[in-house]
Amino acid sequence: MSYKMHVLVCGGTGCRASNSQEIIARLRESLEERHLDGEVQVIATGCFGFCEQGPIVKIMPDNTFYTRVTPGDTAEIINEHVVKGRKVERLLYKDPREDKSVSDSKHMGFYQKQLRVALRNCGFIDPENLEEYIARDGYAALAKCLGEMTPREVIDEIKRSGLRGRGGGGFPTGLKWEFAGKYRADQKYVVCNADEGDPGAFMDRSIMEGDPHSVIEAMAICGYSIGASKGLVYIRAEYPLAIQRLKIAIEQARACGLLGERILGSDFNFSIELRYGAGAFVCGEETALIHSMEGARGEPTMKPPFPAESGYLGRPTNVNNVETLANIPVIITKGAGWFNKIGTERSKGTKVFALAGKINNVGLIEVPMGTTLREVIYEIGGGIKNGKKFKAVQTGGPSGGCLTEKHLDVPIDFDNLLASGSMMGSGGMIVMDEDDCMVAVAKFYLEFTVEESCGKCTPCRVGNKRLHEILDKITRGEGEPADVDRLRNLGKVIKDTALCGLGQTSPNPVLSTLDNFPGEYAAHINERKCPAGRCKALLSYVIDPRLCIGCTLCTRACPAAAIVGNRKEPHAIDAAKCIKCGTCVEKCKFKAIFIR
Amino acid sequence: MNNTQSLPMESTIKLQIDRRDVAVAPGTSILEAARGAGIHVPSLCYMNLRDTCISNLPASCRICVVEVEGRRNLAPACSTRCEEGMKVTTTSARVMNAQKTVLELILSDHPTDCLICPKSGNCDLQEMAARLKIREVPFKGEQSSHVKESSPSIIRDMNKCIYCRRCEMMCNKVQTVGALAAVNRGFNATIAPAFERPLGESECTYCGQCVAVCPVGALTENDHTNRLLADLADPSKTVIVQTAPAVRAALGEEFGLPAGTSVTGRMVSALRALGFDKVFDTDFAADLTIMEEGSELLDRLARFLDGDKTVALPILTSCCPAWVNFFEHHFPDMLDIPSSARSPQQMFGAIAKNWWAREAGVKREDLVVVSIMPCLAKKYECARDEFKENGDPDVNYSLSTRELAGLIKRANVEFDSLPDGDFDRPMGESTGAGVIFGATGGVMEAALRTAHELYTGKKLENVNFESVRGLQGIKKATVDLDGFELKIGIAHGLGNARALLEEIREKRCEYHAIEIMACPGGCIGGGGQPLHHGDSARLKARARALYAEDAGKPSRKSHENPCIIKLYEEFLGKPLGEKAHHLLHTSYFNKGKAIQER
């Protein structure tokens, strides 16, 4: 059956949470009522990335991009757009810069600078439909490997592509495959690291939800090249949709002979199983991940031996992150030469980032390596929310560093970010504005790493705890001048001595904010002030007697009975009783209460 | 590993440590290489008991970090392999600052009650703090707060734990007991039994190997010194003591004597000086054990050779209480295989309270039997219900070698200058066979000496069975008993025992008799012994001391012990007889079930 029109509706986790499944059901109902279901097909796709504007509905072939669609809008979309060919103006994206509607995603700032390689199929195909994946050159790469290439040639192709691990480390993927290929064993394993743990990051989840076959195909290619017949996906149990779609895809591939014995008539056998993680951040570290899969405590061990030599059940194991794997089929079909033209000198291809924080266009983006932070924040991200001033951007997840104005024109790649005092990590990008206190930000991230440390090595177990305690002390206004040196020395020692990547990077938020915002630390410690007005303990609420008319509204609202004063006379706040909840400020109609 | 001279040139790796040229075998760690070259890189969690396959390499304390040229961060010397051309610096400002900071971090979550800590003066952390000259801890903050927990043998004070994981390694990798493991994470990570239940409700065998390797005061013995002092001071009580064979080979270490110094005579004098009414010897009961266990072996063998298919073989020794706990927990389907003979400690207690007391005219309720043991499981064993008569234990309580040393020091006894004393008769009389019970293979060797003569009826000329000696984890030997090939196996360490038991369970086992000791090296490496601090040479020296004492004994076969012969004549009748059965044998229980039902 060939359809005249396709209605693509985002079926990613974010849009589903905003009722996209009901939108799909209503669209289908409306089409059936009008007997258009033979001509127009509704497809639940993976994530479009523009989560800020979700749920997204895209009409093909005219590329109309509807935003913030509700189930109530479906009738109008069918009646107006599908039947009468008139676009529903009010659902089109409004470009805030020019204040006009943009109907086509190609002309939206959010998409213009993007290059979707790993996300090539997300938001385009039905992830639960193998044919749609195949129609987009799916499994052509596996067929090419099995039919035309030796394992060695596959590894060489990946090496030539310059692909580096997208999970955080940036280790050359081809080299990793080569190591795993080198060892002889009765059994080898390919492991897909889907233990995405950075707060706010959903790159890997989107790929698995939107294009699960790309991961499966890549794992099979890896298995062929290193001589492994078993694949394991270590995925968080808290990703139910990704799990469901992976299971469906694995079953489809098996049913079609794309997994299993003698794949595509070759001698190559490959099967994939899922392993569930309970959501420990440290299990993203490959040795910890392997221990967790083995049923042991999820904590890292020293390398060497590398998993390539002794991994899962002591066998040679290659561990790659989801996004890394999603790049593999394209590299094989389009060639290493195509891939390595994208990006910078030492970082090839693209990188997916989860844009979050005080930025207009929150969502998932993919850009060529070498794109600047300014382009990402201002052009793709649409700038800072509410016209506030940009203050910092934190890249690399909870253990990345906070970069500032002066880093905005740095081309993003593994080495530049490292040189700037942050890191690529798995692709978290959190934007902060003038209202964010950088000491509090550092404290927030340390809280995360303290919580997620496995506790194995001293620097991470005790050191991060102490870093957090010192930061907490400073934000409570109890810091002392020596704390700055203490933080700096301790941070450096933790980085220098911790066992795994978690501890070796966890002090980054502290060290980078110390470097880039020394004044904020000084203000907290020396003047007992929080310039951003975030640290509660350092604030005091004051009533301006000239503006207060004694209406008593604040007195009645105050939960701590901290406000005193006679009716129709200026009131005053008892600082000792005040809990700094801000209720009085909200209640005061005369703007007489301010924070000092 | 550090002996580089004997290695051919092509199999060595050349590197520089602190600008010194060093050559080592491939696979050598930087720490081993440095120490081999006389550069003592400090370490805490690292432990390597050479020749025993016991090593702890979690690389987790991060005290041993060193600088390796070209490397971004510091490398833990304990678990970083040497590579050709490596340039290592162990004393740069960066390294020393990191070591000091890491130690300060450990101390920031460690109680500073050194003055009253049971490990004071014998604590690796205390020594490290002194060595790195820590004068203040710049980090103040939350301290771990765990409830101190006490079991019959072991006290756990996890607030003192530095998370070196040695106990976990011992309990899981070496002993395969699985009672202790890491729980929780981050700052709250600690070592505990499953579900953080008390040790007494876990599979713990009380082998005490966790205590033996704990570098700090987190795991210590349940100390009965004050109980003993009270009894010794009570004029209505007759207090007698028995000392296990392995004690005499290690006690001297607590008084600065070199490992392997046999201090039997001084120990006897010290015990007498402490006020014990009689100083007896567990070696006497060891000889008695051989009479019973050896007879049981011969009895089972005879029935087996007669074609009795129901007879349980191999027979397993049952002297070691941790081993008994182990099979009661982990192999409850095989409770009929071990010998039913009680351990020497319990045989001593039964004879002391049922025979000696009567001979000496002491009422049972006035008699206190104390044992000095290299072992912590003995504390639990003597409290077992089956070894009590109307609630009164045959052995009232047990003190470890370490506790005895502490008491001697407290009692103002100048150990070094003590004259050699002799054990009291009759229960102080022993043969060389009893002495070697303290080393792995010793019980088997002692049994062979007796079984050989009883089986063949001929005098055994060479009593030294060299093939059953040494630190190899599992030893196998075949002994010719006048044409009959007796196959024996010996295991020390419960992991090795498990391997043998699984062979038996799967009917792959060809042995007739197996000796099992829970602790590495046997009782000489027991959980109550002076701490070896990771030095296996101490274990070897202690074994040598026991074999030397054996060699010097006038009689080296248990059945030749005149006091044993007299005991059977006057009281017990014959081995395996009714009285012997009642007093010297026991039965075993399924403890796995108890845990499942909990």
What are B39-78's pLDDT values in tens digits?
999 999 999 988 888 999 999 999 999 999 999 999 999 9
CATH class of domain segment(s) B9-91: alpha beta
Per the CB < 8 A criterion, the answer to whether A24 and A9 are in contact is yes
Residues A383 and A411 in one domain: yes
Residues A284, A196 contacting (CB under 8 angstroms): yes
| B97 inside 8 A of chain A by CB | yes
pLDDT reported for residue A106: 85
Residue A296's CB is within 10 A of a number of other CB atoms, namely 12
Within this chain, do residues A422 and A442 fall inside the same structural domain, yes or no? Answer: no
Amino acid present at A27: L
B496/B507 Cα distance (integer angstroms)? 17
A490 touches chain B (CB under 8 A): yes
B96: which chain A residues are within 8 Å (Cβ-Cβ)?
Answer: none
| Direct distance between the N- and C-terminal alpha carbons of chain B, in angstroms, rounded to an integer | 47
Question: Do A209 and A289 have their domain in common?
Answer: yes
Select the residue of A297, A461, A495 nearest B73 (Cβ to Cβ). Answer: A495
The domain in which residue A14 lies consists of 5-111
Same domain, yes or no, for A230 and A282? Answer: yes
Look up tokens 């003192």; give the residue: B160
Q: Which two tokens stand for residue A348?
A: 């090839």
Question: What ipTM score was computed for the predicted complex, to two decimals?
Answer: 0.92
Is A515 in the same domain as A372? no
Of A339, A358, A384, the residue at which a domain comes to its end is A339
Domain match, A286 and A212 both: yes
Q: Is B12 on the interface with A (CB under 8 A)?
A: no
Task: Supply B238's token pair.
Answer: 């007759």
Contacts of A486 in chain B (CB under 8 A): 138-139
Establish if B74 touches chain A: CB-CB under 8 angstroms.
Answer: yes
pLDDT of residue A399: 86
d(CA A506, CA A493): 11
Residues of chain B scoring pLDDT < 50: 1-8
Q: Which residues of B are catalytic?
A: 293, 296, 319, 339, 378, 381, 386, 523
Contact A458 B60 (CB under 8 A): yes
Task: List the structure tokens of A467.
Answer: 């870093």
Distance (Å) from the alpha carbon of B164 to chain A's nearest alpha carbon: 9
Question: Phi, psi at residue B88, to the nearest 5°?
Answer: -110, 135
Q: Is A140 exposed, middle or buried (0-12, 13-18, 19+ CB in 10 A)?
A: middle
Phi, psi of B382 (to 5 degrees): -70, -15
Architecture of domain B287-341+429-593: 3-Layer(aba) Sandwich (3.40)
- Integer CA distances (angstroms), A89 to A95, A157, B578, in order: 13, 47, 103
Could you tell me the CATH number of the domain that includes residue A464? Answer: 1.20.1440.230
- Placement of tokens 């490990």 in the chain: B119
Four-way CATH pick for B124-131+134-221: 3.90.1150.170, 3.40.50.10490, 3.30.70.20, 2.30.30.90: 3.30.70.20
CA distance A49 to A203: 9
Q: Which residues of B touch A495 (CB under 8 A)?
A: 73
Q: Which chain B residue lies closest to A280 (C-alpha atoms)? A: B185
**Domain membership flag for residue A290:** yes
Q: Is A63 contained in some domain?
A: yes
| A276 shares a domain with A217 | yes
Is A533 within a domain? no
Cβ-based contacts under 8 A for chains A and B? 109
Same-domain pairing of A149 and A61: no
Angle at B444 between CA B439 and CA B445, to 5 degrees: 80
In angstroms, the CA A383 to CA A339 distance is 30
Between vectors from CA B423 to CA B420 and to CA B425, what angle results, nearest 5°?
A: 145
User: What is the pLDDT at residue B2?
Assistant: 41
Number of separate domains in chain A: 5
Neighbouring CB atoms inside 10 A of A72's CB total 11
Q: pLDDT of A373-426, one tens digit each? A: 999 999 999 999 999 999 999 998 888 999 999 999 999 999 999 999 889 988
Report CB contact under 8 Å: B106, A451: no
Nearest CA in chain A to B80: A304
- The residue among A433, A451, A472 that closes a domain is A433
Domain-embedded: residue A120: no
Angstroms from B61 CA to nearest CA on chain A: 5
Residue A480 lies in a domain: yes
Q: Which of A398, A418, A433 is the last residue of a domain?
A: A433
Q: Does residue A576 sit in the same domain as residue A511?
A: no
Per-residue pLDDT at A275:
97
Judge whether A51 lies within some domain.
yes
Residues of chain A with pLDDT under 50: none
Give A498's contacts in chain B (Cβ within 8 Å). 62, 73
Contacts of B60 in chain A (CB under 8 A): 456-458, 499
A253: closest CA of chain B, how far (Å): 39
Q: What pLDDT shows up at residue B5?
A: 43
Task: Tell me whether A458 touches chain B (CB under 8 Å).
Answer: yes
Q: Where are the domains of chain B?
A: 9-91, 124-131+134-221, 287-341+429-593
Among residues A424, A494, A426, A417, which one has the least CA distance to residue A281? A426
Same domain, A142 and A260: yes
Is residue A334 domain-shared with residue A356, that is, in the same domain?
no
Q: Determine the residue of chain B that is closest to A468 in CA distance.
A: B141
Residue A380 sits in the same domain as residue A268: no
CA distance B55 to B174: 9
Closest among B377, A104, A18 to A9, alpha carbons compared = A18
Residue A209: enclosing H or E segment and its boundaries?
A: helix A203-210
